[in-house]
Amino acid sequence: MPSNDWNEVKLLAADFQRIQLTTSSQRLGERNCVEIVAKLISTGLLDVVFTTDGKEYVTPVHLTKELKDEAYIQGGRINILDAARALKVDPDVASNLCEKLAKEESEDYCIVHGQLIGLTYLDQIAEDVIDKLEQYGQINSLKISQQFDLPVDIIDAMLEKRNTNLGFNLHKNKNNPYLYYTDSYFISVKRIVRGAILAITRPILCTAIINQCSIEEKEFFTVFESLVAEKQIPGILTDRVGNSCTYVPNIYTKSLNNWVINFYSNNKYLDYEAMNNVGITDPISYISRIPLGKELIALSSCSIGPKILNDILAAVEESIASGTWIDIMDFVPIVFDTKDGIMILEYLLKKNKFSNSYQIFDNTVLVTDKFIEIQSQRIISIIDTKVKKIVESGEYAEALINWKIQQKFTEDKNPELSRKEERKKKTGKHGGGTQGRETKIKAVKKKYGHKSKQDSDSDDLENKTAINEQLMMDIVNVNEIRENLETDESFKEIDEDKSPLIEKIVSYLHPILNKEALRRAQDIYDQVMANRMGDRRKVHQEFRDKLLLLLFDFNQYLKGIQKFDNTDTQVQLTSFLLKSIGGEIIENVKSYIAKNKENVSESKSNKYDKQIEDAIERLQKSLTSKQIDDFLEAVDQLLSSVDVVQKKHDRKKEREHLQNYRQLLVRSLDIEDDAAQVLLIATQILFQSVTQTMIKISGKFVSVLLGFLQKHINEQELSVLQNYHDAVVQLLKTEDPVEKENIKSKLKETTEIVKDIVNNFKKTG
């Protein structure tokens, strides 16, 4: 130190000592000092911090210096609360002071988790981490953060900041963001993984490879992805869910593909069990992934190629064309099971859309209707003599009487069944004809809705009665059918395992043939009884009722035609009505003549036939003239020639007939599925509901009825019916199978809506 400076220091020390020894006449008390400091603080001339004991004042600058000193003493890291206690200040003051320091000197200090941390402390940690990287080649920032109680983000930022100054490259693992490694470490791990993978020749779980290489899962997948990118991996990972997957080497995949191709080339199908045996655990999925799978059809135990399918299809077509039978299982490899045969048969029948001229037995046997018909005719022709003997011997008559007695007994116990039988006799086909789409009316039970217990019981009894009627006598027994079938060429060399097939065909034919035998027996019996008893009156009564019913319907239909304003429409409907009703009248008359010819003497028969022939000829001419008067005159002449007198008009019976006719139409509508028939019946019911008259039309007049009904139904319902009509017409015109299926699907969706419109229709206006 210079001598001048030192002299000044001595002088200052002497002045300071003199001042200390000097006594003042005016001294400031402690209270005055406190008030002076408070005044200075309030006026903003002095900035100090009170200590916790309240006896000292500390300036922020001095406090900051003490805070730095305390952090240094604690190794560069101090808790804010500990700092507050050491500085004897309030924790809020210490916290604000630390935040201010970290803000003003952000490069040297930071606050983490309520602690003030200096840059020197982080540098020391960074040196330790880098030493570990050099020693081990990799570190986990998450573990380091837990070790030093620091956030992972700070550790990551610290490493990234110093990455450029390191003597080696530092990388972060893509699959594990907490893992850092050096180039040398990554290369060594790649060599280990690549060596392990190159030694694999069969599929293996990745966990086994990881355990063998003694590395972490995420580290393995990072290395694996790197090797894949460098095209050093001869295989792929499959079934990966998270970190769980299987490594499949290419050599194994290639050997499997070669095995599959060779197996298919030799057999024209792929067996799932055989594929399982060579290591393909999901054969169906595997087949769907290979190019070969596009032409195969998946079955229950195998996938079949087009070669076998085409062979089976050719055999089926030949069988249908020749009218024989075929078992699909005879044309498939032995490894195929019954389920496969069923699926093949269903696939072929659905794809090729054969006409429904066959029956399926034993699930895989297709028997053509032609074959069944030939066998039935052959068997019936053989037993015709037996049928005649049964009738002539009185055995059939006895069985018929016993059956009728049993039926009468059943009806007495269940009166409802008797009433149903009566209604069934009264109902039947009204109208008829051969032009257009005729309305088919059937007296049937309601298809939907809940039945009462009484109705259910009566229906069961009615079904039992029908069954008993068919089996009231066993004219053709199963042994006769079996013996005749076994003599057929196609069954002579049949295997023993096919014997159940014959039994099923026998069971199928037995009720059909027995019913046909009973029908023939009944025909013979009726003829015999007619010849014996000459029941001409009964036949004439039935004939008269049919004829009068047709004429009654004709008059009702005529009233309906008169509701149309257009003359051309009336003429067309009248022409159709004349042809249909007139044709049925002529048909009934001819049938009646044929039945009664034997009961009339030859001389009387010639005269009788001449009158009827003249009347029929006149009636036929009136049908072409389209004149109602001519038709009615010809009908009167015909009725006179066959001794039929018309009944007087009865308005009460007319109303009942209209009501019954409408109910029959409604029942027919409920059970009808054909869209054209649904539309035809629906328009007839709506017309009768509007006009209270009957109408007889064919399909081509539906549009005419819709035009008439548009004034009587609302626009929404009319739109539904008109769209339904257009769809039906389009279905009849189109020839494209795909378009037909689309139209049928739309019609099926709308059919119930049309039925609801009819059933819920109420006349307006």
| pLDDT (tens digit per residue) in 741-765 | 888 888 888 888 888 888 888 765 5
CATH number of the 121-251 domain: 1.10.10.10
- DSSP at 700: G
What is the pLDDT, as a whole number, of residue 42?
66
When mean pLDDT is compared over 22-26, 79-83, 402-406, the highest value belongs to 402-406
What is the pLDDT, as a whole number, of residue 689?
85
Q: CATH 1.10.10.10: which residues of the chain?
A: 30-119, 121-251
pLDDT > 80? residue 30: no
Q: Kindly report the average pLDDT of the chain as a whole number.
A: 75
> Crossing angle of helices 737-759/651-671, nearest 10°?
140
pLDDT > 70? residue 437: no
Query: What b/e string do you get for 220-237 counting C-beta neighbours within 10 Å, with b at 16 or more?
Result: bbbbbebeeeeeebebee
What is the pLDDT, as a whole number, of residue 433?
36
What is the pLDDT, as a whole number, of residue 457?
47
The per-residue pLDDT for range 649-677, each reduced to its tens digit, is 677 777 888 888 888 888 888 888 888 88
What is the pLDDT, as a whole number, of residue 438?
37
The per-residue pLDDT for range 276-320, each reduced to its tens digit, is 888 888 888 888 888 888 888 888 889 888 898 888 888 888 888
- Mean pLDDT, to the nearest integer, of 90-109? 75
- Mean pLDDT, to the nearest integer, of 572-597? 79
- Mean pLDDT, to the nearest integer, of 615-642? 77
Q: Which residues are CB-neighbours of 620 under 8 A, at least 6 positions away?
A: 582, 586
Q: Which residues are CB-neighbours of 748 under 8 A, at least 6 positions away?
A: 675
pLDDT > 60? residue 444: no
pTM (predicted TM-score): 0.41
Q: Give SS3 for 327.
A: strand
Query: What b/e string do you get for 630-655 counting C-beta neighbours within 10 Å, with b at 16 or more?
Result: bbeebbebbbebbebeeeeeeeeeee
Residue 587: which pLDDT band, with cuts at 50, 70 and 90?
Answer: confident
For β-strands 109-112 and 77-79, DSSP reports them as unpaired
Q: Which residues are CB-neighbours of 551 under 8 A, at least 6 positions away?
A: 581, 585, 635, 646
pLDDT > 80? residue 139: no
Task: Give the pair of three-digit tokens for residue 412.
Answer: 């007495």
CB 77 within 8 A of CB 71: yes
CA–CA separation, 555 vs 708, rounded Å? 20
Residue 131: which pLDDT band, with cuts at 50, 70 and 90?
Answer: low
- Mean pLDDT, to the nearest integer, of 631-657? 77
Task: Give the pair of three-digit tokens for residue 282.
Answer: 């999901």
Q: Among 123, 120, 129, 125, which residue's Cα sits nearest to residue 74?
A: 120
- Mean pLDDT, to the nearest integer, of 463-492? 68
Residue 439: which pLDDT band, with cuts at 50, 70 and 90?
Answer: very low
What is the pLDDT, as a whole number, of residue 450?
39
What is the pLDDT, as a whole number, of residue 515?
85
pLDDT > 80? residue 271: yes
CA contacts within 13 A on the Cβ side of 27: 6
**Percentage of the chain surpassing pLDDT 70?**
72
CA–CA separation, 724 vs 676, rounded Å? 9
CB 745 within 8 A of CB 722: no
pLDDT > 70? residue 542: yes
pLDDT > 80? residue 576: yes
Q: Which residues are CB-neighbours of 82 under 8 A, at least 6 positions away?
A: 74
The per-residue pLDDT for range 610-619, each reduced to its tens digit, is 777 777 777 7
What is the pLDDT, as a whole number, of residue 58?
74
pLDDT > 50? residue 704: yes
What is the pLDDT, as a whole number, of residue 593?
77
What is the pLDDT, as a whole number, of residue 603?
43
What is the pLDDT, as a whole number, of residue 20?
64
**Percentage of the chain surpassing pLDDT 90?**
0
Fold of 30-119: Arc Repressor Mutant, subunit A (1.10.10)
- Mean pLDDT, to the nearest integer, of 69-95? 73
Give 125-169 as a DSSP string: HHHHHHHHHHHHSEEEHHHHHHHHT--HHHHHHHHHHHGGGSSS-
- DSSP at 79: E
What is the pLDDT, as a whole number, of residue 12?
76
Task: Give the pair of three-digit tokens for residue 543.
Answer: 């004939």
Element (H, E) at 465: helix 453-470
Strand ranges in 199-271 using DSSP code E only, listed in sequence order: 204-205, 235-241, 244-249, 269-271
Query: Which of residues 215 and 314 earns the better pLDDT score?
Result: 314
What is the pLDDT, as a whole number, of residue 197?
75
Looking at the DSSP bridge assignments, the partners of residue 360 are 366
